Amino acid sequence: MEESQPSRPEFWDTRYAAGQTPWDFGGVPRRLHEFLQAHPAGGTVLIPGCGFGHELTAFAAAGWRATAVDFSRTAVEQARTRLGAPHAERVMHGDFFHHDFADAPFDLIYERTFFCALPPAQRTVLVQRAAHLLKPGDTLAGFFYYGTEPGGPPYALDPAAEPALFRPHFVTVRDEPVADSPPMFAGKERWQERRRS
């Protein structure tokens, strides 16, 4: 059934409406706070698949101009309600792959549970789109979910497949384990920073 697929917004609308969001961290991860402290100058950042948009306020407080986007209308409505003014206006309803972002190209794309939410068949296009939305030297940074388990979501990234996926567009400059993941990601997330080549 078409609406039962993770590549369709209806799949996520149903889960947000029912409060079934075990991937949600419920706030801003420690590692992102550390990243923002190390990059206080700010810039423009895109948060794709933003869900409740917790991180948008952290970026804004650190001086970044943040744009959050999600193709689930229910997620966007809930994020806008939770964030309130003035942050709500920075949450867009749209498709990461096709939306015309006014602030593009961005200085940073922040990843948290977007990459693993989409079927693996979309990964090459996702990486290409991220590269298109960044200038050479800019950064794709965030949390990446690793494993070899079949199925999903979440869809784990097989470490053996990673180099070929990112190599055409990105160079990995930081790769660290994560200690405070949500239970469903515990022990399988890594904080990574990649430079657009």
pLDDT digits (tens, 9 = 90+) for 159-188: 999 999 999 999 999 999 999 999 999 999
- To which H or E segment does residue 33 belong? helix 30-38
Task: Give yes or no for residue 92 having a pLDDT over 80.
Answer: yes
Structural domain total, the chain: 1
Q: How confident is the model at residue 3 (pLDDT cuts 50, 70, 90)?
A: very low
Sequence-distant (≥ 6) Cβ neighbours of residue 147 within 8 angstroms: 156, 157, 158, 188
Q: What is the pLDDT of residues 100-116, one digit of tens each?
A: 999 999 999 999 999 99
Domain hosting residue 85, numbered range? 2-196
pTM: 0.95
Banded pLDDT at 74 (limits 50, 70, 90): very high
How much is the pLDDT for 4?
60
CATH code at position 54:
3.40.50.150
What mean pLDDT do residues 41-60 have?
A: 95
Q: How far is CA 93 from CA 45, 77, 78, 155, 161, in A?
A: 16, 9, 11, 23, 31
| pLDDT at residue number 86 | 94
- The H-assigned helical ranges of 51-122 are 54-61, 73-83
Distance of alpha carbon 43 from alpha carbon 20, whole angstroms: 33
pLDDT for 1 equals: 34
Range 4-13 average pLDDT: 89
Q: Report the relative pairing of strands 91-93 and 65-70 from DSSP bridges.
A: parallel
Query: What does the pLDDT look like over 122-145, one tens digit per residue?
Result: 999 999 999 999 999 999 999 999
